[in-house]
Chain A
């Protein structure tokens, strides 16, 4: 796996941030019922560049929009999902926003109870081992989820069978309102990996290249048949948990302002400008180009039909088995 193209990486991080801001506005305007911000988590996009979207599987964290944009999800998909339209590729408008799924992109469906999807990633990896297809499965979840037994049972099972799966905890320090020190007595969730007989590593989410490198090592190891790894990405969420949360109730504005100094999108831009990979004069053109994509996607989604009442009754069972 070669180094990621920094401009491609910057583009998905920047696009994710723009989408995030637009989605929040639409929610505040009353045009979208539910928003799940990803701002602050953009650095996780680095892991997507270490995977092979043609063969690998993704059972992601719900806050992984930046990574999904590299895995094939488009702004049109995102807005059709946001507005719960019939052509929403995630769920045909059945699930709330950010319950990602797309079979054509090897992206397995998420539910709301967290982290119910993590054992599914282990099952995909078991299927890969049985069939020998050499695919790696990546699954993500938050620090809140790390408290649940699902993670324990999944990591234990995967380690026993040396399955090609990566467990990624995106630790943003809060399970909605509950801070890390009320969730666990350890500093790093990754410390637990040793207890399962797998390597654990910590990456700083503000640096997508560090995330890429840590992910690459774990993915290489999994593809060699040496088994699962655990990765903890330290991030900070700049927005409330969802559009129904008020983060002022549990964290100070001073804390938030201090963390904004570590904005992964701004830091990465500074870095690629400094390294002369990117020219600051191109910012406006990029913004306009992505803005046009967003307008197109928004118009497309708004013009798309809503599901019909009859469609609510389909796909309960396989064809012919519907009630």
Chain B
């Protein structure tokens, strides 16, 4: 099995899917000649031609709106939004149109498309190149939201997203692009959307995480293992729809839960997870559910102190998990 970076896994999967299915095409800002600002679709325009890897104007509404129309008549667009922070002009198209097309036509028209976008902080991106956007979009039934944290999952879930009959928002944590490497299965490898994975088995506390925070949480779990605290780390992988079975099974085993996300706290994914667990597994809980998240600030500051202060890290996560274990 070859070892690839998160970015290479995405690039290779884009290429594989375009080679597999001629209905697949890419559109977005700077995706063609320059190969994307993070180089995810690098080389694909040379390989597949300018008709299938389209450099668009700086117009996010049109990128998504055009993809919706093309998807409706049978193509499978992969739209790239250059930074998740720039997706909001297309919010209406994603939430009012893509997410509702199947429902509002009772299945007569559908929207099989992928929206790829880099999100997340920790790369000195300031307020507008660092945001986590998942909470806004997980509130839109009809849309699926996927956020892989390993190169293998990036491949399997991106392939699944491209082949999915419904619109999928595919969130790529930009800090992982070049910092995370891993084995990636060769050949056709597709993972089901909607399935979490127990990444590390433990018995004392369940830690629910995804994206870059999955790696910080694993580091925290390593540290706590030295103190004989065994953390079970569940990588959510798909944020909408949530894998209730895997999440609840882990909670029933450990009785203690910590949700970790980089996104801000209030009304974030942690709130939904806490509510879900309380509704479904209240009698299995031995401690209040804790959240380790970004603080409720309008953005991640550009200065290093501010950025560090904002972001959860292995240390902050370990502190929370330690307290939970001792509860």
Contact = CB atoms under 8 A, between A and B. Distances in A.
Interface stretch (A75-83, A96-104, A197-205, A244-252): A96-104
16 contacts: A89-B108, A92-B106, A103-B108, A109-B101, A111-B100, A116-B96, A120-B68, A121-B69, A122-B69, A123-B71, A124-B72, A130-B51, A130-B52, A156-B59, A318-B165, A323-B241
A247 to B, nearest CB: 27
Interface string B41-62: 0000000000110101101011
Contact of A94 (B56, B77, B104, B144): B104
A137 to B, nearest CB: 8
A113 B92 contact: yes
Nearest to B102: A315
A154 interface: yes
A302 to B, nearest CB: 20
A59 to B, nearest CB: 8
Contacts of A113: 92, 96
A154 B102 CA distance: 23
A198 to B, nearest CB: 15
A57 B73 CA distance: 10
A321 interface: yes
Given A90-B105, A129-B51, 14 more contacts: A101-B104, A109-B104, A109-B108, A119-B93, A123-B67, A123-B71, A123-B72, A124-B72, A125-B69, A153-B57, A315-B105, A317-B142, A318-B110, A323-B241
Interface residues on B, range: 35 or more
A91 interface: yes
Given A90-B105, A108-B109, A109-B101, A119 B61 contact: yes
A127 B74 CA distance: 8
Instruction: Pick the 10 closest A-B CB pairs, nearest first.
Output: A123-B69, A119-B65, A120-B69, A92-B106, A153-B62, A318-B165, A123-B70, A123-B66, A103-B108, A315-B107
A319 B279 CA distance: 27
A122 B65 contact: yes
Interface residues on A, range: 35 or more
Contacts of B66: 119-120, 122-123, 126, 154, 157
B166 interface: yes
A95 interface: yes
Given A101-B108, A119-B93, A315 B65 contact: no
A91 B25 contact: no
Q: Which of B25, B72, B75 has the most CB of A within 10 A?
A: B72
A57 to B, nearest CB: 7
Nearest to B164: A318
B288 interface: no
A323 B141 contact: yes
Q: Which of A101, A150, A157 has the most CB of B within 10 A?
A: A157
A305 B52 CA distance: 45
A117 B61 CA distance: 11
Given A108-B72, A123-B70, A157-B57, A316 B102 contact: yes
